Chains A and B, each alone.
Chain A
Amino acid sequence: EVQLVESGGGLVQPGRSMKLSCAASGFTFSNYGMAWVRQAPTKGLEWVATISYDGSSTYYRDSVKGRFTISRDNAKSTLYLQMNSLRSEDTATYYCTRDSWFAYWGQGTLVTVSS
C-alpha cells in the first residue's frame, strides 16, 4: 500500500524558517518525480514545487522561488521542503504527492505563519 506521511508543520513567525518532510513507502520512491502542493484555509489547491526522480531537476512557482527548496533523499525514501523567509500568505496545509499524475497524496501538514 502506498503511503505518504508529511511532518514538520506548525506555527512559525514571519521571516523564520521551517522544514517539511514526507516519508514515502509502498512504491519505489527513486523512480518517481515528487511534488508539494498546498491549500490555504478554505481555498483551492496550489502547486508549490516539483523535483525529478533523481533530484537533478527542480521547479518552483514564482512566489516561492528563492525562498523554498525542494529536495529528496532516495536512500531514505523521503521528500523535503525547506521554507525560508516565510510570509503570512504561505499559511496552508502542505501535501506531498507523486508528480506527473498526482496519483497519491499524504494527509497534509498545516503550516501557520503568524506573529
Chain B
Amino acid sequence: DVVMTQTPPSLSVAIGQSVSISCKSSQSLVYSDGKTYLHWLLQSPGRSPKRLIYQVSNLGSGVPDRFSGTGSQKDFTLKISRVEAEDLGVYYCAQTTHFPRTFGGGTKLELK
C-alpha cells in the first residue's frame, strides 16, 4: 500500500499568517496516463470533507486562490496564504493513483 506521510500533525496559526503542509508518498503517484492523482481535502469541524485541490495543483471550484499546491512524484506541499478563520480544520492529502486509495494522517490547523 502507498503510505502517505503528512507533516506537521498540527499547526497553530494567527489570522493572516501563511502556512505550508507537507505530504510525502512511499511510491511515485504518477499514473500510466502521465498524470499525478494527488489531492488535498479540508474537513471543517463537524463537516464532511471538501476537496480543495486536485491533481497536485488544480484549484477546485469555488476554492479561494489563497490555496495552492505544488510537488511531483512523491513530494507534495499545500500552501495557504493569509489564513482566514474559515480555513480552520483538518487537512488531508489523498492519492487515487493506486489501489488501495490512501490518505495522509491529517494536519489540524488551529487558531493561535
* A and B bind: yes
Chain A residues engaging chain B, CB cutoff 8 angstroms: 35, 37, 44-47, 50, 59, 61-62, 95, 97, 99-108
For A101, give its contact among B37, B99, B103 (CB under 8 Å): B37
12 contacts between A and B (CB under 8 A): A45-B43, A45-B106, A47-B103, A50-B99, A50-B101, A59-B99, A95-B48, A97-B49, A100-B37, A103-B60, A105-B48, A107-B48
For B49, give its contact among A95, A99, A101 (CB under 8 Å): A95
Knowing A44-B106, A45-B92 are in contact, say whether A101-B39 is a contact too (CB < 8 A). Answer: yes
Q: Which residues of A contact B104 (CB under 8 A)?
A: 44
A102 touches B41 (CB 8 A): yes
CA distance A22 to B90 in the complex (A): 24
Knowing A44-B106, A45-B94, A46-B103 are in contact, say whether A105-B39 is a contact too (CB < 8 A). Answer: no
User: Which residue of the partner chain A has the closest CB to B54?
Assistant: A101
B67-84 vs A, Cβ < 8 Å mask (1 yes, 0 no)? 000000000000000000
For B48, give its contact among A44, A100, A106 (CB under 8 Å): A106
Q: Size range of the interface on B?
A: 20 to 34
Q: Which residues of A contact B49 (CB under 8 A)?
A: 37, 45, 95, 97, 102, 105
CA distance A14 to B50 in the complex (A): 31
A35 touches B101 (CB 8 A): yes
Q: Which residues of B contact A108 (CB under 8 A)?
A: 48
Q: Which residues of A contact B92 (CB under 8 A)?
A: 44-45
B96 touches A100 (CB 8 A): yes
B55 contacts the other chain (CB 8 A): yes
CA distance A105 to B47 in the complex (A): 10
User: Which residue of the partner chain B has the closest CB to A61?
Assistant: B100
User: Which residue of the partner chain A has the closest CB to B61?
Assistant: A103
- The smallest C-beta distance from A83 to any residue of chain B, in angstroms, reads 17
For B39, give its contact among A35, A59, A102, A106 (CB under 8 Å): A102
- The smallest C-beta distance from A65 to any residue of chain B, in angstroms, reads 10
Knowing A44-B105, A95-B48, A108-B48 are in contact, say whether A101-B100 is a contact too (CB < 8 A). Answer: no
